[in-house]
Amino acid sequence: MKDIIKLKPYLRSTLWGGEKLKSLYGFKSSSNIAEAWTLSSNCDGMTYIDNGEYAGMPYGEYLKTLQLNFPLLIKYIDSVDNLSIQVHPNDTQALSLNGEKVGKAEFWYILDCEPDSFIYVGFDKSISKDSFLMSIQENLLCNYLHKIPVHKGDFVYIPPGTVHSMSKGITLLEISQNSNITYRIYDYNRRDSQGNARELHLDKAVQVLDFNTFDSNLLKKDTLSNATLQLHNNGYFKVQRLLIGNKVHLMWKEPTAICIVYGNGVLNDKPFKAGETYFSAPNEDVTLDGNAIIVLVSM
């Protein structure tokens, strides 16, 4: 049976990263791991093929050999401190402000969190541009943000232009367009390892921000009551969750990422474990067996 492409992640360390991705998924690094980019053709952090005849090839080059376009970025995130409050542009804004063709719509699936963990998504109170900027100067921005307690299994879509952040104590899977454009709005006055204040991007942020209040329909919960669940479809990517308890045979007409978020088993007769991400080209036969929770991502 043909091997499905397995990807080797690109690991990023930041001042808010921790050790949990090492213990949960066996990622190895001498530094903390804030993000593990498990599927990326982005020049800021490329993943590589980890098996078969293409082993060692950059994932982006592999896509070119198949003449495939799969402009998505998949990563695990672990926060031992609050992330900066930020916003991403849409495609049009990314081109005009950064000269890049792709903006960043993103989706979060909460894998684990502390009891008091929360996310900020959108505004809780109406606010003008001038009041917004003043709230940052006065360290009052959080008073205007929509704060949502989160639990394992929660998932949320974050459209471009939506202010957002997460608290410490959260581990999640993030699926987004293939963009690393982030406009940092507020960072709790933290400083980097050299003692410098982290850069803010307020001029660009105010050009892309949606100042409307949060749409509560964007946050949902996966109760694992169904073997399959369509988590999201926004025109940029589709996300589905599978519960695997016995052997299943699958085939997709479109390229599909296979993210093992919990458990273990075999994929096309080769062992898999939590934290691994695979890439299936169109019309490839895929057989999964074991006990696992799997997230499928396609376009």
Residue 210 CB coordination number (10 Å): 16
Among this protein's residues, is 184 annotated catalytic?
Answer: yes
Distance in Å from the first CA to the final CA of the chain: 25
Instruction: Kindly tell me the sign of the dihedral angle through the C-alpha atoms of 39, 265, 248, 260.
Output: negative
What are the DSSP calls for 137-190, one per residue? HTT-GGGGEEEEE--TTEEEEE-TT--EEE-SSEEEEEEEES----EEEE-TT-
The angle formed by the CA atoms of residues 289, 291 and 293, to the nearest 5 degrees, is 100
User: Among 184, 190, 191, 198, which one carries the catalytic annotation?
Assistant: 184
Q: What are phi and psi of 267, to 5 degrees?
A: -125, 115
Collect contacts of 187-195 with beta carbons under 8 A, ≥24 apart: 187/84, 187/85, 188/82, 188/84, 189/139, 190/15, 192/15, 193/15
User: Are residues 58 and 7 in contact, defined by beta-carbon separation less than 8 angstroms?
Assistant: no
User: Are residues 84 and 34 in contact, defined by beta-carbon separation less than 8 angstroms?
Assistant: no
Q: Which residues are catalytic?
A: 184
